[in-house]
């Protein structure tokens, strides 16, 4: 099992803020909108250095999405910023009609996704957003794993012409992917080659999959670990190539089973290469208040949950 050097421990939302600030320097058409959460979304640097391109919309997310769609008419590339819950469920019809169906070049940037939002509780811990967003025709859905990758993804989506949902989070997590990496939308990243099981992880669960890989290696299980930072379009080729070798899969994500990465992988496998699949995900439940670590443990999203899922799926082979 390959080891990854942790450069530092940082929140993915700060990666977004750094990426957005970089875009402000690179591209005069990039515009940022925020619904009264500038500090939480780490959009302050952009606001400070590019005030003429920063739009404070107040606590009015529906209007923010509509205005973002309107800003594209005039050649702007709007990045909207608020919590994942208010970026998706609260404004689903606005995104559906004014952005997705209208084919607008809007980047919906969503922080505090999942249970790692922590103490605020279930009202704010959305676990359904990937599902909602991936169902929209033409929507790209990205969930990077660490600071460096979130920064790279933020910069990359400005070059992609079309609506994008970029999901990231609140807690500080190990930052281990290369600094200044090229982010390729839709291209899975093979982190560790293995032959016994394929672990497909996204977002905060990628680091936990790496931790699980070390525990599994100690048991003599050789795990192939792939970072699926783009849930839609899914890198079917990379996934099928791996599963043809390992013959079983575990998916890991901070999201509901319904509608998440596991659901996309199940669809792919059942149609193209049926193989045993276990999902590490929240199983039809809301979250609650607690620390991120406590919640990841309670809701079955921890390193040991991945290990157990691997053990279970390997038993189902043959």
Instruction: List residues with catalytic annotation.
Output: 61
**C-alpha torsion angle, residues 120, 207, 228, 242 (rounded to 10):** -150
What does the alpha-carbon distance between residue 214 and residue 210 come to, in Å, rounded to a whole number? Answer: 7
* List 18, 41, 65, 243, residue binding other proteins (CB under 8 A): 65
Identity of the residue, 137 or 220, whose beta carbon is nearer to other proteins in the bound complex: 137
* Region 81-120 residues binding other proteins, contact defined as CB under 8 A: 93-94, 96-98, 101-104
Is residue 161 a contact point for other proteins (CB under 8 A)? no
* List 7, 27, 40, 63, residue binding other proteins (CB under 8 A): 63
Q: Other C-beta atoms within 10 Å of 123: how many?
A: 11
> Using DSSP, how many helices (H) and how many strands (E) does the chain show?
12, 14
Identity of the residue, 78 or 114, whose beta carbon is nearer to other proteins in the bound complex: 78
Is residue 162 a contact point for other proteins (CB under 8 A)? no
Q: Is 149 left (phi over 0), alpha (psi -120 to 50) or beta?
A: alpha
Identity of the residue, 15 or 24, whose beta carbon is nearer to other proteins in the bound complex: 24
Is residue 158 a contact point for other proteins (CB under 8 A)? no
3 state DSSP class of 154: helix
What does the alpha-carbon distance between residue 13 and residue 111 come to, in Å, rounded to a whole number? Answer: 6
Q: Rounded to the nearest whole angstrom, what is the least distance from the CB of residue 86 to other proteins in the complex?
A: 13
**C-alpha torsion angle, residues 270, 273, 277, 282 (rounded to 10):** -50
Convert 34-52 to b/e letters by CB count within 10 Å (16 or more is b).
Answer: bbbbbebbbbeebbeebee
Is residue 37 a contact point for other proteins (CB under 8 A)? no
Q: Give ∠ CA 95-259-130 in degrees, rounded to 5.
A: 45
Q: Rounded to the nearest whole angstrom, what is the least distance from the CB of residue 49 to other proteins in the complex?
A: 16
Q: Which two tokens stand for residue 71?
A: 């800003």
Is residue 151 a contact point for other proteins (CB under 8 A)? no
Distance from chain centroid for Cα 309: 21
* List 70, 121, 162, 300, residue binding other proteins (CB under 8 A): 70
Is residue 139 a contact point for other proteins (CB under 8 A)? no
Identity of the residue, 58 or 89, whose beta carbon is nearer to other proteins in the bound complex: 58
Binding segment toward other proteins, per CB under 8 A, in 52-60, 169-177, 178-186, 232-240? 52-60
Is residue 77 a contact point for other proteins (CB under 8 A)? no
Is residue 135 a contact point for other proteins (CB under 8 A)? no
Q: Which residues form the interface with other proteins (CB under 8 A)?
A: 31, 52-53, 55, 57-58, 60, 62-63, 65-76, 78, 93-94, 96-98, 101-104
């Amino acid at each position: 099992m390959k080891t990854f050097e942790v450069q530092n421990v940082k929140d993915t939302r700060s990666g977004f803020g750094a990426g957005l600030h970089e875009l402000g320097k690179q591209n005069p058409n990039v515009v940022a909108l925020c619904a009264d959460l500038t500090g939480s979304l780490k959009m302050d640097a952009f606001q400070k250095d590019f005030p003429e391109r920063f739009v404070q919309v107040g606590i009015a997310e529906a209007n923010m999405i509509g205005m973002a769609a309107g800003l594209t008419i005039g050649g702007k590339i709007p990045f909207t910023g608020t919590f994942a819950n208010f970026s998706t469920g609260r404004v689903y019809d606005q995104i559906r009609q004014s952005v997705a169906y209208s084919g607008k070049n809007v980047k919906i940037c969503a922080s505090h996704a999942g249970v790692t939002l922590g103490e605020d509780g279930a009202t704010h811990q959305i676990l359904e957003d990937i599902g909602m967003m991936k169902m929209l025709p033409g929507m790209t859905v990205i969930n990077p794993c660490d600071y460096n990758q979130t920064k790279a993804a933020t910069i990359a989506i400005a070059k992609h012409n079309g609506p994008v949902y970029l999901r990231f989070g609140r807690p500080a997590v190990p930052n281990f992917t290369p600094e200044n990496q090229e982010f390729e939308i839709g291209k899975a990243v093979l982190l560790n080659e293995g032959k016994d099981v394929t672990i497909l992880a996204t977002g905060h669960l990628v680091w936990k999959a790496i931790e699980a890989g070390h525990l599994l290696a100690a048991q003599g299980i050789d795990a192939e670990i792939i970072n699926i930072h783009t849930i839609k379009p899914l890198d079917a080729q990379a996934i099928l190539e791996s599963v043809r070798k390992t013959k079983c899969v575990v998916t890991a994500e901070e999201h509901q089973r319904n509608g998440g990465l596991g659901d996309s992988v199940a669809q792919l496998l059942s149609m193209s290469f049926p193989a045993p699949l276990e999902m590490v995900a929240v199983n039809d439940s809301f979250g609650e208040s607690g620390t991120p670590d406590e919640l990841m443990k309670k809701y079955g999203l921890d390193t040991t949950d991945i290990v157990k899922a691997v053990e279970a799926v390997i038993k189902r082979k043959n």
